[in-house]
Structure formats: C-alpha cells, structure tokens
A and B are shown apart, each in its own frame.
Chain A
Amino acid sequence: MSIIKSDGLTYDYIKKDENDNIEEVFRAIDGVKLEVKEGDFIAILGHNGSGKSTLAKHINALLIPTEGTLWVDGMDTKDETHLWDIRQSAGMVFQNPDNQIIGTIVEEDVAFGPENIGVPTQDIWKRVEESLISVDMLKYRNHSPNKLSGGQKQRVAIAGVLAMKPKCIVLDEPTAMLDPIGRREVIETIKLLNEKENVTVIFITHYMNEVVDADRVIVMDKGKIAMQGTPREIFSKVGELKEIGLNVPMVTKLAYDLKQSGLDIKEGILKVEELVEELCRLN
C-alpha cells in the first residue's frame, strides 16, 4: 500500500507587489508524480533550488499544492479536516537541530508532540522512553539539550517525531551541520528505524555517500523528477548527474575513472569494499 502518492503535483511561489498584483510566479514543483510504499527508504537528491524542500513540505501539509494532489496515507492534503492526522502520519526533521529543540531537558522536548495531541500522561512516558531507546539516547533523558553534540541533538529531534508514532519521517538535510561521526550516527539511526520499525523514510541530502543504502533514489531538477532508480542505477550515470550539478560518492568516482582508463570493473560501485574486491579480482 502506498503511504505517499502524488499526481500532477505543482507548486508556484507567487511574488506580489504592494497592491497585491502578481509580479512574478516561480514554479518550484512541476507536475510531479510520486508513489512511496510503506516501509520504503527513499532518498531525494537535487541541487539547491531544484524543488526538494518544497516537495518535502507538501508531505506534511506545510504547503498545499497549487495544482494536482498529494495523498498521505490516503488523505488528501488539501482537505483541512485531515490536517492534524496528516502531520501525525508524516513527521519532519529539519537541517538545524537548534531550531527544532524547545524543551529544557531531553525528555521534555520529546514529550512536547504527544502532549499537544492529548495523549494520556502514562502513555506519554512510555512513548518518550521508547523513542529515546530507538535513537539510543535514553541515558541522556535528563540532560539539557544545549549540552549535546550536533548528532545527539538531531537524534533527539528524531525521537520527538517518533513519539508521535508517525508512519513516515521526512528528513530535510538532517546531516548538513554535523561532523563526520555525527552524520554517521544520524544515518545509522534512520536506517535502523526503517529496518526494525518499518518507518517509511524520505531523506533529503547533499552528501552522496549517505544514500547508498536507500531502496530508491529520486533526483530532482527544475521541479521535476529527473531520474529515479536504485542507488547503483543512479550512480552509474556519472556524466548525467554532473550535468545537473550533482556528483557521486568519491569511491564511485574513482571506480568510474578507473573503468574509463580501461580497467574491466563493474559499473556503479558504491562502497570501498566493493571497489577493493573488484581490484583484487583483477590483480
């Protein structure tokens, strides 16, 4: 069953002058047809301004389509009566952890969401504990969030979303501000949630090596879906990606260059071990 589905999804940013006359219309998303099945791990790539974040904001009904329709778990986002159900089904995590943490201690922050939708107190405790266990942050439950590292803060933000028991999490560049280990912590957490708890993940990033384990990669360009496929299929197209301002993981590029120089190795290598394996086979 598909958790997210869109048809002809289009969104215009409209600029108006003082007299409310339309000055300029910028089409950020242009007729996107999308289908995400429950339990999928989808990565979205694209250069700045390609429409990724605009698309993400539709999934949690922060934006409503100008044309076309988007359904979250069968609910049309244009239907205001479903607004809170939609936001509960699809949680969002943003780039800067400092902008989304509001509690003075970790468990209070995680409890904020369920508290607001009127979950009984006993259940809130249970949800907070479960969520913190899922992101491996339980031992920090009584800590102040501003003493945590970037990766830990981002995991607390994820726990806050999990406490709402969403079917789907949309993460808009959650690793952009983190150091390498912080990035790895967040990626591992997301993967685990997807595998163990079957949460659907929509993951937006500019770091190509973070998407090698996704089920499907969607590449956006000029508001449209430019490419779609498994990481291996997408990263085989080194030239095409470069044309739309993207690149491939360093090891994929090295493998590609070696193949161009005449080495007989397979296409779309994604990991260090794979390349080493291929080279040893040739030796």
Chain B
Amino acid sequence: MSIKLENLNYIYGTGTVMNVQALKDINLEIHEGTFIGLIGHTGSGKSTLIQHLDGLLKPTSGKVLFNDMDIFSKDFSMKDLRCKVGLVFQYPEHQLFEADIFSDVAYGPKNLGLDKEEIDRRVADAIHLVGLNESYYLKSPFELSGGEKRRAAIAGVLAMEPDYLVLDEPTAGLDPKGRDEILDQIAELQKRKNITVILVSHSMEDIAKYVQRVIVMNKGEIIFDDEPKKVFSNYKKLEEIGLMAPQITYVMHELNERGIEVDKDITKLNEAKDAILKALNKGKTND
C-alpha cells in the first residue's frame, strides 16, 4: 500500500501570463503506517502537494499512483480514494456547517451510504478520539471554543476512517495544551491503527517530537527527505530557506563549539537532558 508521485509538475494559471510553477519534478513515495512531517516556508508548495494526494488537483504533468493505479485513469474510483485519504485543511472549523456536532461528524459516513449503526459507531469513535465526549453531541458549533471546534472538525475526517490522514497545520492558533493534546491523540491513533499521517507544520519542535520522516520543500521542490535528526543537522541550510531547527538543536551545536561533547543530532528534550548530564559527569570523573 502506498501513494506515489512520479515526475510531478504543477503550474497555476497555465496558458496565462501569470503562470507560476508551484511543484517541480516531485518524486515521492508514501508508505502506509508512517508519521511524516511536511515543512517549508509559506508558498513553498506544501498545500499544493497535499491537494494532489487525494486528487483535488490534477498534475500539469507526471502521475499520482495509489497502490500503483494512476488516480486519473478512467477505471479508478476517485470516491474510493477520497475515503482512504482524509484531508484536514487549515482552519477546518470554518467548514463546520451542521446544526449540531453529531450531525456534522456523521455527514461523511452518511454520504458513504453506511447503515445507521455503523454511522453511530464511527461518530462515537471519532469524537472520542479527538478528546471530546457525548456531552458535545447535541451542541451547536457556535457553543464551542476554538480548540473544541477544531477537534470536532478533525473528528469529521476521522469518521471516514481513512488509511492516510493529511493535516494542514492542525494546531495553528491553539494554546500549548490544546496543541499537545491534539497531536498526542493523532500520534496514538497513528500507532494503534497503523495509518499514515502527514503533518504539515511550522513548528519545528512538534516535527522533532512526533514524526519519523521529514519532507522539506523549497520553491516547489523537495530538498530534504529523511529522518528528523538528519534533516535538522542541516540547520544552516534550513534557515536560508525560511525555516529553522528546534531550539534543542541550537543548544547541542553551541555546546559542542564550547567544548562540551554531546551528540549534535539530538532534537528531543529527554535525549538532550540525558546527553548533557552524561557529558558533564564524564568531565568530572576525568578531573
């Protein structure tokens, strides 16, 4: 099971004087069961890329293959694809439209033609997964806080039970606790159901904490595609293209410059703590 992008190009406004090449020769394979981070400055092509994953945009040239099937071939079911690849856009709460939360989350499954029992189960599961509960079923979206609305909107996509879940900055504008809760729940879901999650984020800290693989985009091209440690060790290059490394990376590099030997590739809090304690203790026993 995989999604493959082959020699993919996308140009906005083809045939006009305003044409902009948003994606340049993208080759990418996304396997099932991984947590992937997608980063890049504003306008680097991230959103254009993810819209290709469920066929919302048709490449100007190149192919999108879902399980080795060209998604734009005649006998491919686009509806099937959109059930399997769930897309959560930026500010998804703007898309809540039903009178109550239950109906809103049920909208997708209902359109799949599932029976009532299955719909109820999926809605209950999805609402539970995002950290809400039964007391929200009959509430109007207007009664919810920003964070709660965001969760309800994400639940609507989860209720489709996708194999691939793509989230475009799901935590923008949320407070730190809300941020951690939503991402923790998504990470747990990813592990438990072994689905693929693609997280678009501007928070390098979150990328370092959650993902197994980072894809970095710049001017429509993929410039890094590797595990977070390896990507963030190129922090100078990242800064040149409008990104940064997590604060921890800077601490580790700076310590090395000043003669305290620690692993420069560490990006996580706990690993940094252990490495620093070890390095300082070693210094003492040598004295």
Measured CB to CB, the residues of A under 8 A from B are 46-49, 95, 149-151, 173, 176-183, 206, 208-209, 245-247, 249-251, 253-254, 257-258, 261, 263, 272-273, 275-276, 279-280, 282-283
Contact A283 B269 (CB under 8 A): no
Cβ of B176: which chain A residues have Cβ within 8 Å of it? 47, 206, 208, 245-247
B146 contacts A by Cβ under 8 Å: yes
Q: Is the CB of A272 within 8 A of B273?
A: no
- Chain A residues near B244 (CB-CB < 8 A): 180-181
Known A178-B42, A254-B248, A272-B247; judge A46-B175 contact (CB<8 A): yes
**Bound Cα distance from A90 to B20, whole angstroms:** 39
Q: Which 8 A-B pairs have the closest CB atoms?
A: A245-B177, A47-B175, A181-B242, A250-B247, A180-B244, A247-B176, A150-B42, A179-B41
Task: State the CA gap A261–B269 with chains docked (Å).
Answer: 13
Chain B residue at minimum C-beta to C-beta distance from A50: B175
Q: CB distance B277 to A261 under 8 Å? A: yes
Binary flags per residue of B47-63, CB closer than 8 Å to A gives 1, else 0:
00000000000000000
A182 to B43, CA, bound (A): 12
Across the interface, which residues of A come within 8 angstroms of B146, CB to CB?
Answer: 48-49
A263 with B277: in contact, given A150-B42, A246-B175 (CB under 8 Å)? Answer: yes
Min Cβ gap B279→A in Å is: 8
B81 close to chain A: CB less than 8 A: no
Residue of A nearest to B241 (CB): A181
By a CB distance below 8 angstroms, the chain B residues around A245 are 175-178
Q: 8 Å CB contacts to A: which residues of B239-257?
A: 239, 242-244, 246-248, 250-251, 254-255
In the complex, which residues of chain A have a beta carbon less than 8 angstroms from the beta carbon of B40? 179
A272 touches B254 (CB 8 A): yes
User: In the complex the two chains form, is B175's CB within 8 Å of A272's CB?
Assistant: no
Taking the nearest CB of chain B, how far is it from the CB of A147, in angstroms? Answer: 9
Please pick, from B177, B202, B251, the residue contacting A272 in the complex, using a CB distance under 8 A: B251
| A173-B255 contact given A47-B178, A258-B277, CB 8 Å threshold | no
B42 touches A151 (CB 8 A): yes
Report the nearest A residue to B273, measured CB to CB.
Answer: A257
Whether the Cβ atoms of A283 and B280 lie closer than 8 Å is yes
From B173, B248, B250, give the contact of A95 (CB < 8 A). B173
Closest to A45 in B: B175
A257 touches B177 (CB 8 A): no
> Are A250 and B269 also in contact (CB < 8 A) when A180-B243, A206-B174, A258-B276 are?
yes
**CA A120 to CA B204, docked complex, whole Å:** 47
Contact between A251 and B247, CB atoms less than 8 A apart: yes
Chain A contacts of B174 at CB under 8 A? 48, 206
CB of B101 within 8 A of chain A? no
